Structure 1
Amino acid sequence: MQYPIKKNSLVDETIRTIRQHIRQQTWTLNERIPSEAELVELFGIGRNTIREAIKILAYLGVLDVCQGDGTYVRAVDDFSESIVLLNRASLHDHLETRCLLEIEIARFAARRRNAEDIQNLQALLALREKINPLEDLEEFWIRDRDLHLAIAIASHNQALHATYRYFLSTSYEYTKLFIQDEDLAEPDHPAHETLVAAIISGDENQASAYARALLMPTIQQLEQLSTT
């Protein structure tokens, strides 16, 4: 049976179709998929398109091309689709996810911070205070980001830090919306001072509560606006 591919964006459509077959378990994990020639016949498209789609999926870790043996399914999903969804998320969803991450990051940071972490947090907090976001938004974002990344580093959880670091790298446009909208509650510097103080003192419950308090007022405002 043929599964014809649309003629527009052939490589993208081929990637999407191969993923669909994998998710539907037409080809299961660690199973060899049909050869290029068989896929050409199956999808009704050219060999070059098939080859390019396989190359991209191999780069993403979904497929594994074994020379002389064939191409195997190595993963059902990859991060690329998650990244697309993340970049399309609303300001509300972005802040809600960031809040969830920061609550646990603050908890672990309060539990695990060391002398070097404390020194870094104090220095970065002082630098953040010196910038007015309405005068230099980009520099403010950098200093605010550096402080929050230092808190993530103080959690001493490499996976959590890496996830949060990537999440922040996508957030500049959201930060601009957040700061420039005068109707939205913005976490002020004293709120950040309170959070850092709780982490330094080692109070896990207070640290997570203060981390939650930074963004929840804005999240609640956005929820109210969406219902009006």
Structure 2
Amino acid sequence: MVEQVRRHPLAAQTAELLLARIKDGEWPLGHRLPGETTLAAQLGVGRSTLREAVRELAGKGVLGSRQGAGVFVTALDVTEDWDVVLRRATIASVIEARIAIEAEAAALAAQRRTPADLRTLRRALAAREARGEPVAEHVDADMAFHRAVLVAAHNEVLTQLFDTFLPRLRLAMIDMLKIRPVPSEAADHEAHIRLVDAIAHRKPAAAAELSRAHLSTLKQAFT
């Protein structure tokens, strides 16, 4: 017997039940849902209630309507807001994501950087070398350097992904450096110099490895 919706608000209940059936695999990704009349009868709700439930799930990216074709499954679950995901994530997880993004970005930067990109990178490198500045200012200078590498890759998607990490990462870095300063500021800065040199000399493999090694060392400090 098909489970029916019995409580109010009906549209929200209907949306929850539809989502549960999608998660259970009743309708796979890309599959068309039954017609409106059939589905409303299965759920024991009116067609207007069903339409409202479909609109709710469409707004969350789970369902999509195609003119004259019906309603299709476009995702198997509701995607959480990035801010929620990042607030819950450990800083190590955020750095792992940075490794995936920035190592590739460093390789692309070595292939695509322009003379203007290189000038920006070298200015950012000089700015992060300043000694005796407050921790927050140093972190901001470091973040500006790493973002300059992303920009030099000329991939807007990678840059936007990095930007989503910045608020979470900035606060974590400030907290960590106040408690546990970098063992060797000179060695840390030298790693950034080598990265810029690899990008300047158009060495994608070396740039990617230097970025990965630096961020892996950073991750170890948080674990």
Normalised to the residue count of structure 1, the TM-score between the two structures is: 0.71
- CA deviation after TM superposition for structure 1 residue 73, in Å: 2.3
Q: Percent identity?
A: 27
CA gap of 1:83–1:200, structure 2 versus 1, over 3 A, is: same
d(CA) in 2 for partners of 1:151 and 1:114? 12
Match of 1:92 in 2: 92
Equivalent pair of 1:36/1:50 in contact (CA under 8 Å): no
Q: What secondary structure sits across from 1:218 in the alignment?
A: helix
Q: Give the match's secondary structure for 2:126.
A: helix
Deviation at 1:16, TM superposition (A): 5.4
**Structure 2 match to 1:219:** 219
Amino acid at match of 1:31: R
SS at 1:212 equivalent: helix
Distance (Å, rounded) in 2 between the aligned partners of 1:200 and 1:167: 26
| Shift, 1:6, TM fit | 8.8
Task: State the one-letter code of the partner of 1:145.
Answer: M
| Letter of the structure 1 residue corresponding to residue 105 of structure 2 | I
Which residue is 1:226 aligned to? none
User: Between Structure 1 and Structure 2, how many residues are aligned?
Assistant: 217
Structure 1 stretches of 5 or more lacking a match? Answer: 224-228
Matching residue within 151, 154, 157 for 2:155: 157
Letter in 1 for 2:129: E
Shift in Å, 1:7: 8.1
Gaps of 5+ in 2: none
Q: 1:69 to 1:157 in 2, by over 3 A?
A: closer
Q: TM-score, normalised by structure 2?
A: 0.72
Give RMSD over aligned pairs. 3.9
C-alpha change, 1:97 and 1:186, in structure 2 (3 Å) is farther
Q: Is the 8 A contact 1:95 1:215 kept in 2?
A: yes
Counterpart amino acid of residue 162 in structure 1 = Q
Alpha-carbon spacing, 1:171–1:218, altered in 2? closer, same or farther (3 Å): closer
CA gap 1:48/1:204 in 2 versus in 1, 3 angstroms: same
| Correspondence list, 1:1-228, <5 A | 1-2=2-3, 11=12, 17-28=17-28, 29-32=30-33, 35=36, 38=39, 42=43, 51=52, 54-65=54-65, 71-77=71-77, 79-80=79-80, 84-130=84-130, 135=134, 137=136, 139-182=137-180, 188-223=188-223
Bigger Rg, which one: 2
